[in-house]
Structure 1
Amino acid sequence: MDHGEGLNTLGKKLAATRRRLTLLALGRAWWPAFVFIALFLAVALAGGFDRLSSFLAAAILPALMITALGLSWLSWRRYRSPSEADVVRALDRQSELRPVTSLTDRPADPAAGPASLWRAHRERLISEIGNLRLPRLKSEWAALDPYRLRYIVPVGVVALALVAGAAGPGRIGRALSPDLGALVGADKMIVEAWVTPPEHTGRAPIFLQADMKNVRVPVGSEITLRTQAPSAPKLILRGDRRKAERFSRTPEGAYEARARIEEDTRLTVNWWGERARWNFTILPDEVPLIAFDTLPEPGQRDQVTFKWKAGDDYGVTAVELAIRLRVPHPAAPDAEDRVPVPMPGAPGAKELAATAQLDLTRHRWVGLPVDLRLVARDGAGQEGFSEPVPFILPEKLFLDPLARAAQEARVTVLREPRPYAEVPKNEQAISDGAINTAATGRLDAAPDGVRQAALMLDAVTYRGEMFINDLGAFMGLRMALGTLQSAGTKQEADAVEPLLWSIALKLEHGSVADARARLEAARAALERALRDGASEEEIRRLMEAFRDAANEYLAAKMAEAMAGGLDGPAQQEDGQAQAGGDSLGGQDFEDMLNALQDLTETGAEEQARQLLSDITNMLENLEFQRGEGQGDGLPGEQAEGEEGDLPPEEQELTDAMRRLSEILREQRQLNDDTLAQQRGEQPGQMGEQPGEGSEQGEGGDMEGQGTGEGQEPGEDGGGAQEGEGEPGEGRGGTLAERQAELGRLVEELARRGGDSGGQGEEGGGTPGDGVDEDTLRGILDAQRRAERALEGGNEGRAVIDQERATQMLSELSREMANQIDQMRANRLGEQGQNSNDPLGRPLTGAGNDGQGIEIPSESERQRAKDILDELRRRYGEAEDEEEREYLRRLLERF
């Protein structure tokens, strides 16, 4: 081996020896820390720390960290890096020549002879270096690690890592970062959270659980979080941007926070670490859809009639009709008016379809071509539009010239979109003789439409006291002119609209128009309160206002009829007319109003609104018949002087219907008394019982018999006074006896109908053609079952059978009324008379007399009241909060 190669080999062996000695030195110094860390990893990979409680894991970690740091510090202090002498010594001790050390020697005599000997000696040393082996340090390692833990521990850690698999890193991470908040009790902190979707969605609240990582909620949902903690936790929302806020303290000592979810959001609650976390995904809220089902067209009384349909994923809350001029005014090209469209049922239905009838005759653009489109709005405020439809708004027909002038001036003001011009400021206002321009000459600053309307009113009322007969209308027109002359803004000028409209109606229609306007206003207010869920006190007040307006309208109609030559209504003993109280086309008007009030009190909004509409339509279609003698002029009734002129079949059917009406009234009274006895109350004694109060003919004939209420013209008015008796008994005996008497009267009515018609066997005839004998048989069967139930003391079963009998009696009465109307229409047609009034409305029939209006029975209304009272009682007594919340929602829906 040459000299260079030998030195190179020596360098490699020195470096390798240094590494081995360094590893031995590290083992001697760091073996306690190495073993400690390896054991920690082994326990963590085995899941040992996961089995500890949060408090214990958090408490152990600081001790482990301190121990690891202490051992590391001691190891670092103990560590000594191997020196050059240690490395040389480890190699030299393998040979007596000590080749590594000897190579560093130098000859003492540089002479030629000794030099040659030195060279030979170096060659021998280099040759010896080739024979050197790296030190194995076996004895040193045996003394340091007799159990070979330096191999066992790493192998064990690797084996546990392979067993743990993918869970290994997580276990180590949890072991290194335990819940330190457990040291202060944060691990026992419970976060209660729930999401309340927007009310318009109709979705139930979502109570969040810890395992619910991804929750889908409607946009705009509100999340409420509540917890108990020593201090306020922190709420963090991460969406498009980060938002953080502190919980607020409640009066109960808890902490609460609220947040609204408007986008995809990650929510966390932090208090000494993360205590809760949820991810929220927003559910889309679609824009509502709406369209015309049929195109708008003029309807009765100049109303705009059309069918529409709408839909929304969460429900439609409002529907409006948007109106735009087809040729807009240059000063207001985007002007648009919106008119609310009544919705069927309660707002919030997902699918809607209805027929709308809107009175737009008071709109400012009547008679002009416009574009109509429907607007549907959902609970989130989103609006959907239909396609525009061209239309001409119908205009109310005014035949009176002065009424037309008032209407023309009115719309001229309303159609003006421009504001008043700016009045120049008078700089000399404080000087002597200056004119206050702000108080004078306002009409000169008005837009053209206002000035034109003022000129029209001035021309119409010029010396009007000489040719205008209605001084009230004249003064009203002059007041409107004065308002326009003194107005300083467009809003002040528009204040003449109601005055001019009322003047035009009064000149055209008289006082009935005022009463009708009050009736419509009361109806609209009551319907709006029912739709919007107003308070009970507000609905009660509006119900009283509607009752008063209905009575005033009836009084105005009767006054108008009497002024036109029609006979007045029959008078009661106290001198009050019966038109609004007892009889309207076979229906008890007061019962209608009472039923409407009961429906509003029990929360039956849909039925109440339907009955409200039916009553209003009945009143608006009310027509008085021209009679002679003692006729009362009410619709659907004949004056006494006309009855003798009726054909025999019509007369017989009319008499049968009167008897059936008395039986129906008594059956309803018996139903109410049975229900009262079932509740443990004393049955009311209203009116006289069938078969009493007048002399009865053979077979219990009820002709000529009255009850004292709803007396028909020409009937015997000899009704008896109300009787008194023990509970369940009246002048007709017990409830069972009264029911048996009613059954006998129905049999008598059937027998009379059969005898007069010449059809059927005993009890099988019907009063008039077209009435199936099965109807009377069904009534008799129901009455007999009710009689047997009353005899057995089963009032509940009796009430069911009585209601069935009442319903069948009502249906039979309506069929007979329709037959009478048909006979009368045919008779008038044969006589060449027109059965319609000048406006095309039928003089008689269901449209005028209220036939077909469904009124809930007293028992149905009472059951609804009982249910409502029971819900209120349970709500007041409930102690559980969830039960109280459930009952509260029931009461709101009820």
Structure 2
Amino acid sequence: MPRQTTPLTPVLARLRRPLTLTWAGLIAERVVRAFWPLWSLIALCAAALILGLHDLLRLEVVWTLTVAAFLGGVVFGYLGARAFRWPRREVAVARLDSSLPGHPLTALRDAQAIGGGDPASEALWRAHQARMAERAAQAQAVQPDLKLARRDPFGLRYIALLGLIVALLFGSVWRVGSVGDLRPGGSAALAGGPTWEGWVEPPAYTGLPSLYLNDQSDQIDVPEGSSVTLRLYGEVGALSVAETISGRTEDVGAVTDPEQSFDVAQSGVLQINGPGGQSWDITAQDDLPPSVELLEDGRETTFDGQMSQPFRATDDYGVTAGTATFRLDMDAVDRRYGLATAPEPHSPIELDLPMPITGDRADFTEALIENLSQHPWAHLPVTLQVEVEDAAGNTGQTAPRAMALPARRFFDPLAAAVIEQRRDLLWSKDNATRVTQVLRAVSYKPEDGLFRREADYLKLRVILRRLETLVQTDSFDDPARDQIAQALWDLALTLEEGDIGDALERMRAAQERLSEAMKNGASQEEIDRLMQELRQATDDYMRQKMQQAQREQQEGGDPQQGEMDQDMMRMTQQDLQDMMDRIQELMEQGRMAEAEQALEEFQQMMENMRVTEGQGGQQGQNPGQQAMEGLAETLRDQQGLSDEAFRDLQEQFNPDAQTGERQGNEGRNGGQGRGQGHEQQGQQGQGQGGQPGQPGEQGGQPGQEQAERGNGAGGDLADRQEALRRELERQRGGLPGGGTEAGDAAREALEQAERAMEGAEEALRGDDLPEALDRQSEAMEALRDGMRNLGEAMAESNREQQGGQGQARGQPGQQQSDPLGRRSGDGNQVGTQDSLLQGEDIYRRARELLDEIRRRSGDGERPDIELDYLKRLLDRF
């Protein structure tokens, strides 16, 4: 019987390819839905075999999991076979038809129901079928729906797939073949009989290689704590292990276990019994504790109190860390004066010992460098004990060494007295009353020369007044005590170091002592000590000269001008260092005449030296420089007002003395006066500012200029303080650098200075001179902060104007610096004298930098040129 054809038949013939693909998609869709648990289980088992997990587990566990996996596979296969239905061709046609608009395949199967004899109806029907045939010809294969989210809500199939991918990446397909060796009498066991292999792995910190037991002799020396791993192959029970080196009493396990591991705790015997077995005598080597000793050679304390204590540490495998502990030796403390009071408890000083960044730590020498000058125990008897530790936790330490805590020494009598009272205050807060009495006695009617500058005396009186107020109001707590102690420390440094004249005097004295020692034939040790003093004094003088140049530039002065000759030489600190090295070299060679002549030339050059900063001869000033000059002028005016208020306070306590004639009075009126001008009763003074004890000169006095800038020469201090506050308010309104962090900080500091000036004005109107002095001191400190922040804002603005990254910075005529701020070098050396590693622990910072270089060198995405540079750094360090 011939097959009946319909209009759909030719269309399906043309759609054979998309229809076949749709039908294949249906098969894949039903297979995935029915058998996804089975192939997930297969993927998990394959991953475990490729990774070799069966070699790490006990044989019983492996067989149990194998049986469970087999049963699971059978169950999942049966359930999948029941759920799977082979799709028919009609289902594929329906899937394809449902993806087309209007279901054209179904329409082509339809027959005309009415109007069979009507030509118009038949024509319309033929047109309809033709249009449906055109739509059906555009059919495309329908993609199968392989989503299993409803059937696998926990994503177990993805876990199995991930495990298989990891196994293929990090495992080996050859390990699957070792499954046959797990069954008793397996192919490998039948071919080669029972066999074994083992390893001894020393602790990682020892750096020793692993030992393969199959290649070792009967006697083995291993570090204590080494790990022993044994694997027995072949029929279970054919081989067994006997050992006396682990000392185990619990969880020993069977001696015939295919895999055994334990640690070496003691010396003993390790034996494998059975065909091809072997025995070893194991000697467990103890991990000896590290040792450390303090060295005398190289032990020193610099002039600023920085301690350098060398030490030597050794260990059989390497030291990992160490600490130095300072403890107060109460039995050796001289319990007199402020130390007679019971001390407040203080924790011991614990410092981390520096460790070598590179190289072997089994035997090394390092130096503990720290500055403990501001600690309450400075120069008091202490005991130093150094302790080091290795990776195994063993420790070694030195015997406590009695010593005085290294710190800075103050040779100026007044500075030493201030530091002593600071020590007593930190010893116990109960000493506060005694400290105020001593400080008041020290500062009462000071003789000429005791205070080099009037500002130092004012600072001491302000500190004393604040301390007395805290004691009287019973508010002298730990934070307040720390603030007073810091203020006393800063004052002592100022008194000790003094100004540039004092530094020059100390340098001259050091030069004279060295010259005298060379003439008298002093010992080499004495000459070396005096040479070191000269180096320190020269460094101090250079630092003072540099600070003076900075102050002159900030105050609007021209650093190119001065009272020195035109042919003065410009020198750098490295040039001076080279010259002193030459002098020391001549002395070591015994050429004392040449060394003395070089020392005289060095002295002349130092006295004629001048330090300049910035670009000389620059014409014109920018708004930032003008603002800086204005603030400097305001600071000088405020200093003058504070001086006059202080003199008025002195005269209140000595009303019988005439204005400015009292010993120690620092006014403009009177031959004994010193400091800036001071008006009283319309008299015209004669004191010259700035030079203590010198007679004055007529005309042009700073005090007179201040009075004219204030509310007139006859105005009182309160009115002049008010005028100065208004001037500062005007300057703050036109301050440059707005919008930057430093500029905003400068404005905030100047606003704080205005509030302090307003408080000083109110105190002056109320005739409260001590309170006015406190507020004026706060105003001057705030003004200094504002000038400092304004300088930072100007520097940042200059950097932005001079160029971006990679451009050398510096003024014309100056030594240029690279983009990192480093200079090309001075004198006979190349490099920079700046401290590039700053902070409390430069060794820890160095380790962090080295770790960062190693991390970056391992980043393969960085450019090749950068990786080469990082590699060269690692090779060098």
Q: Answer yes or no: same fold by TM over 0.5.
A: no
- TM-score w.r.t. the length of structure 2 is 0.29
Q: TM-score, normalised by structure 1?
A: 0.29
- Bigger radius of gyration: 1
